[in-house]
Structure 1
Amino acid sequence: MNQPIQIAGVDVWLEGEGPHTVVMLHGWPDSPALWDSAVDSLKDRYRCVRFHLPGYQLCKPSQPLSVRDTTELISTIVDTVSPMDPVTLLLHDWGCLFGYEFAARHAHRVARVVGVDIGDTGSDAYLKSLGPRQKLMIASYQLWLATAWRLGPWAPALANRMTRFMARSIGCRNDAERVVWQMNYPYAMQWLGALGGLRSVLPVERLLGVHMPTLYLYGRRKPFMFHSTGWVEQLARAPGCAVHALETGHWVMGHKPAEFNNIVRSWLDQANSKAGAAP
């Protein structure tokens, strides 16, 4: 990664050239390095922009933000790196939630969305699609991480051990030193109402594929999905949209980078070629 620029006190990395800008948001417990392979695949034609989620840059004091404030931070960065043209969002995990919310609130600034492994998790259809065992599994790991976040200020060593244990348990292979309890605040938002909670988040299913071209990729090799079957089927039928299931776990771009990058690049090239041909 090259030297970052500073926008609103945030380190922002820009790589690549071209008329189209792709803004990449990672999730838990990752960093902008999650997108290294994707940037290499896209930077010959696209300007790739990435930055840490609030509170995720370990060399700086942790300052998690509410959903609203995170959305406004994304808006400031997008307006700075692409003041005239809407951008493409490339999103994973909690980056999906924050990115989808930005797209819902600032639709004129987003040309299209690539969402990875997180779909309509806030919908009634998704909740109804989960069986009791799946609901228990989701609640167990998320409450564990939310609890670690709550314990962090008083018992940071214990909170870090809890966080790293869960990261290993669910298949994350990041270096343990790069996984810390401060990253767990989105789970505390979900379960404890921290930082204003998630009650105000807008419904994804009313945006993606309905008002915004969307590519959705997900891994099949998981004990549960993060989307409802009906939403995926509807998205696959929507004009300008596509759905791809890969034989991976949650970290699709890391498990099968070549396949992932080929799908993303092909979809973006096709979408931008059509946009360029429009009168």
Structure 2
Amino acid sequence: MSSQLVVTGVPVYVEGSGEDTIVMIHGWPDTHRIWRNQVQFFSKNHRCVTFTLPGFGDTSTKKGYSLDEVVDTIHQVVQAVSPDKKVILMIHDWGCIYGYQFAMLYPERVKSLIAIDIGDSNSRDLEKSLSVSAKAMIFSYQMTLATAWLVGGFVGDKITRGVAKGLQCKAESQHIHSRMNYPYAIRWLRTLGTFDGLKQVNPECPFFYAYGRKKPFMFQSPAWQQRMATRPKNIVREFNSGHWVMVDKADEFNAAVSEWLMTLA
């Protein structure tokens, strides 16, 4: 069973049927398409909802969106697809940043949370745990993307696709463009607002955290990882993959999440 609706100008895709609804939120430089393996697997027993973040779509004309605007979009989507029941959030990369914020602001709307490879990104613990070389790498690629956003057009798109290729991103090149770099512009150039209002990542609901080990640095601190792992009903799971765990290890990831969800039923 599949359907499509438009929420605040954003196309929203609903696949499958079941009592629970899984809302999947992607990151950079992806679109709703990145979840194809999860939709195929989980739609057998769940309603799977995907959408492309504002400004990440091929036809978006607005230069970028503030933190509040993106979180409000998520809220509107959740209200539209599941007005009377909590949803399961499945989030990756920048989808984690925005998804965590939504979960912290609207805990009454989130039944459980599945996050992939971005943990306590705004914590002092993570900052302390990163080496000087890791911080330099992060600044280098993120500032390049922020600059590409400023430049825009053909040149900005070319720079963005070059960075995406270097980072071994999974999105098709034709769907990658500089307008989707606005989160990096907000972080480093403080355009379109700031991320100063981000809440600390401390989910109240059952939490499954997946991360890949095959990376030069981690996006979660050891202290936060340990805190999350010791809470009842939480799982922290390492995968032999890169940043895109749900693509690199789709079958293993899907099975692990499915098994965990069954323990919560």
TM-score using structure 1 length: 0.92
Contact (CA 8 Å) 2:22, 2:88: kept in 1 or not?
yes
- The alpha carbon displacement at 1:60 in A equals 4.0
Superposed counterparts of 1:182-221, under 5 Å:
182-204=179-201, 207-208=202-203, 211-221=204-214
> In the alignment, is the contact (CA less than 8 A) between 2:2 and 2:16 conserved in 1?
no
Alignment partner of 1:241 is 2:238: no
Distance 2:172 2:233 in 1: 38
1:134-145 aligned within 5 A: 134-145=134-145
Q: How does 1:76-95 map to 2 (within 5 A)?
A: 76-95=76-95
Q: Which runs of 4+ in 1 moved over 4 A?
A: none
Task: After TM superposition, give the deviation of residue 3 of structure 1 in Å.
Answer: 5.2
Match of 1:223 in 2: 216
In structure 2, give the amino acid aligned to 1:7: V
Q: Is the 8 A contact 1:232 1:243 kept in 2?
A: yes
Q: Which residue in the other structure is 2:248 paired with?
A: 255
Please list the CA deviations of residues 175-221 of structure 1 after superposition, one character each: whole Å capped at 9, or x if unmatched.
222110011001011111121111111111xx22xx22110000000
CA shift for structure 1 position 26: 0.3
- The separation in 1 between residues aligned to 2:172 and 2:107, in whole angstroms, is 36
Q: What TM-score comes out, normalization by structure 2 length?
A: 0.97
2:200 partner amino acid: P
Aligned-partner residue type, residue 171 of structure 1: Q
Query: Which residue of the partner structure matches residue 112 of structure 2?
Result: 112
- Matches of 1:72 and 1:145, distance apart in 2: 24
* 1:177 matched residue in structure 2: 174
Aligned-residue Cα RMSD (Å) equals: 1.3
> What is the 5 A alignment of 1:12-27?
12-27=12-27
Q: SS state of the match for residue 192, structure 2?
A: helix
Superposed CA deviations along residues 144-174 of structure 1, whole A, max 9, x for unmatched, are: 000100111xxx1111111011001111143
* 164-173 vs 139-148, which moves further: 164-173
What one-letter code is carried by the residue in structure 2 that aligns with 1:233? Q
Alignment of 1:118-137 (within 5 A): 118-137=118-137
CA contact (8 A) 1:74 1:102 kept: yes
Partner of 1:151: 151
Which residue is equivalent to 1:67? 67
1:165 aligns with 2:140: no
| Equivalent residues of 1:146, 1:184 under 8 A apart | yes
Counterpart position of 1:277: none
Deviations along 1:15-66, one digit per CA (max 9) or x if unpaired, are 1111111100000000111111111111111111110000111134345321
SS in 2 for 1:243: strand
- Does structure 2 conserve the Cα–Cα contact (< 8 Å) formed by 1:92 and 1:115? yes
Matched residue SS, 1:194: coil
Letter in 1 for 2:224: W
Hey, what's the Cα distance between the residues in 2 that align with 1:246 and 1:33? 22
